[in-house]
Amino acid sequence: MWSADEIAELCYLHYRTRLPKQGKPDPNREWTSLAAVVKVESSTQREVLASPGNLQVTKEVVAMGTGTKCIGQNKMRKTGDILNDSHAEIVAKRSFQRYLLHQMWLAASHQQCSIFIPGTETGKWKLKPNTTFVFFSSHTPCGDASIIPMSEPENQLSKPVTGGDAAGQLERRSNHDHLGPEDKRKSEKTASNRMIKRMKTDDDGYFSVIPEDLTVQQVSVKREDDTNPKSCEYSAEMQTANKETGLGRPKVVDVYRTGAKCVPGELGDARIPGLGYHCVGLLRVKPGRGDRTCSMSCSDKLARWNVLGCQGALLMHFLQYPVYLSAIVVGKCPYSQEVMRRAIVERCQHISFLPDGFLPQEVKLLQSDLRFEHSRQAIQEVQTNSKTKLVPCSAAISWSAVPEQPLDVTSDGFRQGTTKRRIGSHQSRMKTLETYWDYKEAALNYQEAWKVLRSQALLGWVKNATEYLHFT
């Protein structure tokens, strides 16, 4: 029907031709991430019977978002006029909800061009059976899906490990074993800081690659304490991968880092240099610059959408079934099929006793070989000899396939160009679907499904205080 490259190419073309220059990064010093929702319509049963040899599939971008930023807790507002999370995936999902709302209006107006048809419940709508949605992201989602094994060749791309380097590593590790508890702690902190220093520049981004001066490490994964079983789980996973190296596969020696932080009060990362730096399968919040955020990682949110749907609580008032994604396509970047499946599907696969209509999905996971032109890696390659420091673009673009104001450009959570004097005014507010807390809570089946999901799989999910949702 379609390929991952076709989806990626369609999204990149839409980005180049339909989005304005305003809000896009300056390619000389900035990068960004892109996400989109693509509507896929296949031939109806009647069309297949009429012309069995001519199966048509149409693809259309219906929502798009760019962005890498997320505001800290201290910048959150109780008036509902600021966007807390402007990562591309979340902006695209918000745009998709606008599209769904418009399509619902078309259906209520008895217009056949709508994607919805009447459901069996009075006043409820459902998707046409030949309509599905594919989610595209130019990069692996931040959080659990970005903790990807790094094999030996990848690790040595920028600096080969000489015999002396390897010997030095072994010598340092041997010396480390003879240190006292306090000296060990300082030694591990120093080693960890040396690796993290350049990663800190990616706090607002999606992942942090291993710095150029990182040599091959084969540090055994240890638990930070006896209450952290996830470390052992990850160690076993890597040991299994390394046992297969006899088949000619490169040895796994490290992992790509994620800037997302473990949820406060829950299990934390061991931060052991090498394979044991991260613990996997944990809920995480997006990083901020000094000020911790309350926004869950994109991996966690995608896992949630895979059970509850992308429509949110408010639209469930009018839908018989949730609107699920049929596939997730990721652009060219560090990627692991197993890690993506663990982060988005497997963590919530065991959920039971959900309300009717809600079901953990077996979403299709694919990667394209086409890279986003304004991704961090693409800009780095072009600017190889430049001394200018690359930074994430501060703006986010939201585009939706709706007739009225399809486009919005924001910066720091506000519509771009908003002055301090106009913050809180109608002009500064975004056209989002967030509204009264009471309306959200009134979507009883959605809230029940969300309660079950939290209790069985996403126990540490950070919920914003209700005072931040009581706006008009």
| Active centre residues (catalytic) | 89
Q: Which residues of 169-188 are buried (b: 16+ CB within 10 A; e: fewer)?
A: beeebeeeeeeeeeeeeeeb
Place of tokens 């209450």: 227
Residues contacting 397, CB < 8 A, separation 6+:
19, 20, 23, 24, 64, 65, 66, 67, 91, 407, 408, 409
Distance of CA 168 to the CA centre of its chain: 38
Place of tokens 């934390």: 268
CA 394, CA 65: separation in Å to the nearest integer? Answer: 13
CA 409, CA 25: separation in Å to the nearest integer? Answer: 12
Q: What sign results for the dihedral spanned by CA atoms 231, 232, 237, 239?
A: positive
CA 298, CA 418: separation in Å to the nearest integer? Answer: 27
Residue whose C-alpha is closest to residue 211's, from 232, 194, 235, 236: 194
Q: What sign results for the dihedral spanned by CA atoms 330, 9, 36, 109?
A: negative
- Local structure of residue 280 (DSSP, 8 states): S
Alpha carbon dihedral 302, 138, 401, 305, in 10-degree steps, equals 0
CA 136, CA 392: separation in Å to the nearest integer? Answer: 20
Neighbouring C-alpha atoms within 13 Å toward the C-beta of 64: 29
CA 423, CA 414: separation in Å to the nearest integer? Answer: 8
The answer to whether residues 146 and 206 touch, using CB atoms and an 8 Å cutoff, is: yes
Q: What is the CA radius of gyration of the chain?
A: 23
CA 268, CA 257: separation in Å to the nearest integer? Answer: 14
User: For the chain, what's the residue count?
Assistant: 472
